[in-house]
Amino acid sequence: MRVLLDECVPKRLGRLLAGHAVDSVGGMGWSGKKNGALLALMTTAGFEVLLTVDKGLRHQQNLTTAGVAMVLMRSKSNKLAALTPLVPAVLAVLAGPINPGDVIEVR
């Protein structure tokens, strides 16, 4: 699965997602892009999933039209230590069927 880490997710988290092609918004040179433009860039670049902690994104954009899915990590903060316990649940989501437009929350 091709996964993009949103700006609000630490890049180091990508190393924990073994078996998946992971890049970050910053690593792609897309820092500061508005959500709509970011989703369009993702689709063009072949990303399938956006991994984020941004709770509002699902209500601001049409992910089905954009052609991507979103995995929303729900934790007390976006620090690596707070997100690491959610990695097994993220990996389970990425291993299962996930379709454009899906928004899957992991806690």
- 47-101: per-residue pLDDT in tens? 999 999 998 877 788 888 889 999 999 999 999 999 999 999 999 999 999 999 9
Evaluate if residue 9 carries a pLDDT over 80.
yes
- pTM > 0.85: yes
88 — alpha (psi -120 to 50), left (phi > 0) or beta? Answer: alpha
> Which CATH number is 2-106 given?
3.40.50
**Mean of the pLDDT values across residues 18-24?**
97
Note whether 41 and 28 are within 8 A (CB). yes
| CA count, 13 A, side-chain hemisphere, 41 | 18
Residue 59 confidence (pLDDT): 75
